[in-house]
Amino acid sequence: MTTTTPLPKGELIDQRGRSELEFLQALRVGLAPLRTQVRERLDATGILETPYEDISELRKRVDNELESVQVQRLIGAALSWSRGVATPRAAAAFERRRGELEPLATPIATVIDHIGDDVPRYWDYEFHGTAGGWDGHPHMGFIHHEMIYHYLLEKIFPGDLFAQRGVIAAAAPADSYTNIVDLGCGTGQYTLKLAETYPGAKITAVDLSRTQVQYALRRAEDAGVTITGVHAAAEDTGLPAGEADLVTSFILLHEVPPHTIRQLFVEALRLLKPGGHVHFSDVAPYSQRSPYQAWLDDWDAAHGNEPWWRTAATIDLVKAAADAGFVDINQAAHGPQSYPWVTTARKPE
Ligand SMILES: C[S@@+](CC[C@H](N)C(=O)[O-])C[C@H]1O[C@@H](n2cnc3c(N)ncnc32)[C@H](O)[C@@H]1O
């Protein structure tokens, strides 16, 4: 039997790579008290207390108030800069140790290609300020998971950064499933929680980034779990119709334009057997957030290369599910401040 090289315990990247990522982490942590200052200033003006018409009006009102506030400018500049440099620095650290890291980043199983080079137009955008987007390096999945998450995000959000994915996997309506499709699987964090929650289910993990699927497969192999990895657009997976009993996603919807969100429901319906469930979780709708939090989400998204966050936070997902043909549509918050926000529905018998 072929085996993969196990991920060693301890430091994966050189001192320079670690210190660069740790500097970025310290910078982000250092912004927290500045954000508190801005919040206090806004509270003192009372401008968040008047009801707002829509998010553009709220943004205009608060942004005007903050236009000449230097601290807010500093936060914006620091965030944009750190988002722009994190992945290139991690990628450079990977290159300096490519010989050792490549065997740790490569799965035995191969990714099934259902797309070739024919990617949707919106895919060219540099999501999250990363040069080349989700696919900007042949080992971007590994770079995101083992470097950016590990050295930057896990230190900012201590504890199990991915525990919420287990909660969402377990919140699907049926007690058990046998054939699950995970759309927008990334490096497989949610996929592995699905495998833990529904042992024995056939799991197909789909992503538009080939390098993310590749690393999801590798992580599954390291965990002793068998999954099928498919490189495809989630809205047009090329998978057979009527075989799945659960089609699900964790934070995919805010990565795609609104017409694609609608197509995702249509594709989920096609993939499901009669009676099967769709279970999509994503960002909290602005209507469920406080005015401050809605403004901050929208401001962060605009300054963090998140072109579709606003539409995901304002689109009517109940209508999108109903228009696709789903019934028994429910929405619920499964965490603090309405995040993750989950839309669940059933394909009619
Ligand atoms: C925020 S990540 C979430 C990854 C994963 N679900 C998790 O829980 O960590 C979003 C993922 O969606 C993928 N993605 C974006 N647009 C897509 C599309 N149209 N079809 C399939 N995957 C897509 C990105 O490549 C990325 O891996």
Q: How far apart are the first and last CA of the chain?
A: 43
Same domain, residue pair 327 and 213: yes
Query: What pLDDT score was predicted for residue 129?
Result: 66
* Model pLDDT, residue 204: 98
In a domain, 4, yes or no: no
Residues 82 and 24 in one domain: yes
Q: Are residues 202 and 148 in the same domain?
A: no
| Pair 242, 257 in one domain | yes
Residue whose CA lies nearest to ligand 1 atom number 1: 251
- Per-residue confidence (pLDDT) for residue 197, from 0 to 100: 98
Residue 170, helix vs strand vs coil: helix
Q: Which domain holds residue 105?
A: 15-109+121-156
- Same domain for 331 and 191? yes
Looking at the fold, whether 64 and 176 belong to one and the same domain comes out as no
278 and 220 housed in the same domain: yes
Around ligand 1, the residues with Cβ closer than 6 Å are 134, 165, 184-186, 189-190, 206-209, 212, 233-235, 250-252, 255-256, 260
Same domain for 127 and 211, yes or no, is: no
Task: Supply the pLDDT for residue 84.
Answer: 86
Q: Which of 145, 208, 264, 283 to mutate to test the pocket of ligand 1 (most atoms within 8 A of CB)?
A: 208
Q: Are residues 143 and 37 in the same domain?
A: yes
Q: Report the chain (349 residues): mean pLDDT per 10 consecutive residues.
A: 72 92 92 95 94 95 95 92 89 95 95 84 73 81 88 76 92 97 97 97 96 96 96 96 98 95 98 98 95 96 89 97 98 90 97
pLDDT for res 145: 87
Question: Same domain for 148 and 176?
Answer: no
Q: Which burial class, exposed, middle or buried, applies to 193 when counting CB atoms under 10 A from its CB (0-12, 13-18, 19+)?
A: buried
Task: Check whether residue 129 and residue 180 sit in a common domain.
Answer: no
pLDDT of residue 131: 66
Q: Is residue 8 part of a domain?
A: no
Same domain for 275 and 177, yes or no, is yes
Alpha carbon of 185 to ligand 1 centroid (Å): 6
39 Cα–ligand 1 center, Å: 32
Query: Is residue 286 in a domain?
Result: yes
Residues 6+ apart with CB under 8 A from 236: 263, 267
In whole angstroms, how large is the CA radius of gyration of the chain? 21
Which residue has its alpha carbon closest to ligand 1 atom 8? Answer: 190
